[in-house]
Amino acid sequence: MTNLTADSVAELFTGAVTLAKSGEKISPRGMATREVLDVTMRLTQPRARLLYAPPARIVNPAFAVAETVWHLSGTDAPWIFDYNARLRQYADDGVLRGAYGPRMRSWGGTVDQLHRAVEILKDDPDSRRAIIQLYDPARDTAGHKDVPCTLGFRFNLRGGRLHMSTTMRGQDVWIGMPYDLFFFTTLHELVAGWLDADLGEYHHHVGSLHIYERDIEHADALTGVTASPLMPELTTPWDGFEQLLDRTQAGEETGHPGWDAMAQTMRSYRLWKGGQREQATRIAGATRGPLGGALTAWYSELTNRAGSSLTTATAVRR
């Protein structure tokens, strides 16, 4: 087993990418891949969750936020495609069958595993039973395209600190890991808040840590990455949590500084996608904390990509 430890997601990501690049060559489903088996990662500051590693890796913070809200809301609604259209390729009849939200918030249509995990630790702070299960053999052997990479989450409250562990069957380090860690550590922070506990360490266990060969060239350019800054606090009472998520998705003010930044990020990106680039950029610039700067950088990246595509198209026509 290989162990990695870092204070921030940027540092953890850099170490994980370097490790995956050194892995054995395999080809699951015919896709050339490098893989390292049985990797454990430890993040000491879970709020340092937003990756910014230009120019090699610039993430879309609006998708990171949207996916987090989507999962926490317990939905598999198709509005997530507005933030990442590539997800459509994994949908069956327009639905992502492996969506975490319904499994976490309404397992079997009845069990809110998130609420139950909090209740268990309130009743017995030393419990080892505060678990959220995501992988479902009854569903996930049925042949649909989207099978959860994440098996489940475990929470342990020790010495007034909440520690969280995630277990994954596989982790695409280059594409998926930055977004996964954003959601997982947000979940960690929220549960700690509902328990009135300090935020402990985040642990990430991966059966197959991998990188696709198509991403190696980009990964080779990953140098000089600085530590991720701490995100604003997101702790909030359980009562009213669903309404807060609804307001965040709608891009409305929530009355909570951290969630206001999340809401502004989602609203700005929808404006950008709708062609209102100036207004979207203005909102991004006014968004407090790391999300605002990351969103501005993402818009620059999109503009550069559009310019490169136009240049290529012009050259081809000539």
User: What would the DSSP string read from start to end of 143-189?
Assistant: --S---SEEEEEEEEETTEEEEEEEEEEEETTTTHHHHHHHHHHHHH
Whole-model pTM: value is 0.96
- Supply the DSSP symbol for 226: P
Task: For the chain, give every domain's residue range.
Answer: 2-306
**C-alpha–C-alpha distance, residues 298 and 58, integer Å:** 7
Instruction: Report the candidate in 149, 40, 144 with the shortest Cα–Cα distance to residue 100.
Output: 149
**C-alpha–C-alpha distance, residues 179 and 249, integer Å:** 17
Q: Is the Cβ–Cβ distance between 287 and 265 less than 8 Å?
A: yes
| H-run or E-run covering 284 | helix 277-286
Instruction: HSE, CB side, 13 Å, CA atoms: give it for residue 119.
Output: 7
Instruction: Report the candidate in 262, 243, 240 with the shortest Cα–Cα distance to residue 251.
Output: 262
- 2-306 folds as Thymidylate Synthase; Chain A (3.30.572)
Q: Is the Cβ–Cβ distance between 298 and 61 less than 8 Å?
A: yes
pLDDT at 314: 39
Strand partners, 25: 34
Q: Where do the DSSP E strands lie in the chain?
A: 2-6, 24-26, 33-43, 131-133, 150-158, 161-172, 198-212
Q: Is the Cβ–Cβ distance between 16 and 41 less than 8 Å?
A: yes
Tally of CB atoms within 10 A around 233 = 14
Q: Is the Cβ–Cβ distance between 225 and 10 less than 8 Å?
A: yes
Q: Is the Cβ–Cβ distance between 180 and 206 less than 8 Å?
A: no
Could you give the 3-state DSSP secondary structure of residue 3?
Answer: strand
Q: Is the Cβ–Cβ distance between 191 and 235 less than 8 Å?
A: no
Q: Is the Cβ–Cβ distance between 57 and 261 less than 8 Å?
A: no
Tally of CB atoms within 10 A around 71 = 24
Q: Is the Cβ–Cβ distance between 105 and 133 less than 8 Å?
A: no
- Supply the DSSP symbol for 229: P
In tens, the pLDDT along 200-229 reads 999 999 999 999 999 999 999 999 899 999
Helices (H) and strands (E) in the chain — how many of each?
Answer: 11, 7
pLDDT tens for the 318 residues of the chain, in order: 899 999 999 999 999 999 999 999 999 999 999 999 999 999 999 999 999 999 999 999 999 999 999 999 999 999 999 999 999 999 999 999 999 999 999 999 999 999 999 999 999 999 999 999 999 999 999 999 999 999 999 999 999 999 999 999 999 999 999 999 999 999 999 999 999 999 999 999 999 999 999 999 999 999 989 999 999 999 999 999 999 999 999 999 999 999 999 999 999 999 999 999 999 999 999 999 999 999 999 999 999 988 765 444 434 344
pLDDT at 306: 84
**Contacts (Cβ under 8 Å, ≥6 apart) of 162:** 121, 155, 156, 188, 191, 192, 195, 197, 198, 199, 200
**C-alpha–C-alpha distance, residues 91 and 31, integer Å:** 19
Could you give the 3-state DSSP secondary structure of residue 4?
Answer: strand
